[in-house]
């Protein structure tokens, strides 16, 4: 991404990080993730909690070989489980991975749980930059989702992704002007999904942990934390690379979003989104509510009850 952020000396931070990973039939991609974790600039031993669920490939064998290969750098704990059909979803797997990570931390007060997915490749400074964001006062740190460089999008799909990126940059500019947040300053992105989502362990416990939902469990966890008054940050230097594959393991995950983008490109259609005036009204609403006592939590509780914004504007496409 190439965006510089204010530097924070994290070398002496009294902070423990644990990476938590749900994995289902990910024998091919897990070595990439684990090698990327072993290459982190974070100086401490990195605990990793992996839940291999409902799998019939060699994921467990891959992890065991990685335990030997990265011994002394990664402390990998693997749970191999088969959920019943009603629980065989992302919510169950992420819950078990995060709860397993909680048990690996010395204590919740200085601990941080870092969620990611098995098909990601975080850059070397990922954990260090996450720690720096917590040192600046964040309670939750979202990471931007970047398309894996080795798997570029087709020429007809890339302009659609760029159009969405431009749209959200304009939305964030509106929010930064009308409702600026000191703990989430510009430049920032807007992602806080399970592919890169870090949370103070004490907050994770306080908000009830990962909800048992078949999809959207990551965003529901963030909403629960915000309802507790937590401060969510989106530092521009916190991001991870993710495969743009369309055969994802989780229903309603990024793979489905990629499929929708590919389908739209195949039709030659332009996507629609809420007009910027709706975002100006929403930012002003948040600002007014935030001024009240406990406003941060009030916003998180009230906003999901608002009617959805109409998609009444076609996105601008690059020439």
| Rounded CA separation 27/52 (Å) | 10
| Rounded CA separation 98/48 (Å) | 10
Q: What's the N-to-C CA distance of the chain in angstroms?
A: 23
Output the pLDDT for position 150: 85
The whole-chain average pLDDT of the chain stands at 91
Q: Write the CATH number of the domain with boundaries 16-155+182-269.
A: 3.90.550.10
Which stretch of 31-45, 71-85, 142-156, 195-209 has the lowest confidence by average pLDDT?
142-156
The string of pLDDT tens digits covering residues 276-292 is 999 999 999 999 999 99
Task: Give me the percent of the chain exceeding a pLDDT of 90.
Answer: 75
Q: Can you tell me the mean pLDDT for 298-302?
A: 93
Output the pLDDT for position 159: 87
The string of pLDDT tens digits covering residues 216-241 is 999 999 999 999 999 999 999 999 99
Which stretch of 12-16, 27-31, 81-85, 100-104 has the lowest confidence by average pLDDT?
12-16
pLDDT bin (cut points 50, 70, 90) of residue 3 is very low
């Amino acid at each position: 991404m190439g965006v510089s952020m204010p530097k924070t000396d994290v070398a002496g931070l009294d902070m423990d990080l644990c990476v938590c990973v749900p994995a289902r039939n990910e024998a091919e991609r897990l070595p990439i993730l684990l090698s990327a974790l072993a290459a982190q600039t974070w100086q401490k031993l990195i605990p990793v909690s992996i839940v291999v669920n409902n799998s019939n490939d060699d994921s467990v064998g891959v992890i065991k070989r990685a335990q030997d290969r990265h011994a002394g750098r990664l402390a990998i704990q693997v749970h191999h489980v088969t959920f019943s059909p009603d629980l065989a979803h992302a919510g169950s797997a992420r819950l078990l991975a995060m709860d397993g990570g909680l048990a690996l931390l010395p204590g919740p007060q200085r601990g941080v749980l870092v969620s990611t997915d098995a098909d990601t490749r975080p850059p070397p400074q990922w954990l260090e930059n996450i720690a720096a964001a917590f040192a600046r006062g964040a309670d939750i740190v979202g990471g931007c989702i970047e398309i894996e460089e080795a798997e570029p999008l087709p020429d007809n799909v890339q302009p659609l992704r760029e159009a969405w990126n431009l749209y959200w940059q304009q939305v964030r500019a509106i929010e930064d002007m009308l409702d600026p947040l000191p703990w989430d300053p510009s430049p920032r992105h807007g992602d806080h999904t399970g592919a890169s989502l870090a949370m103070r362990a004490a907050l994770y416990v306080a908000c009830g942990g990962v909800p048992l939902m078949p999809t959207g469990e990551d965003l529901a966890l963030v909403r629960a934390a915000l309802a507790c008054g937590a401060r969510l940050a989106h530092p521009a230097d916190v991001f991870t690379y993710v495969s743009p594959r369309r055969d994802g393991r989780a229903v309603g995950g990024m793979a489905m979003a990629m499929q929708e983008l590919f389908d739209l490109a195949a039709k030659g259609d332009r996507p629609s989104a809420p007009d910027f005036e709706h975002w100006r009204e929403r930012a002003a609403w948040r600002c007014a509510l935030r001024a009240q006592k406990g406003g941060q939590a009030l916003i998180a509780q009230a906003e999901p009850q608002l009617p959805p914004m109409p998609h009444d504007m076609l996105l601008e496409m690059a020439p």
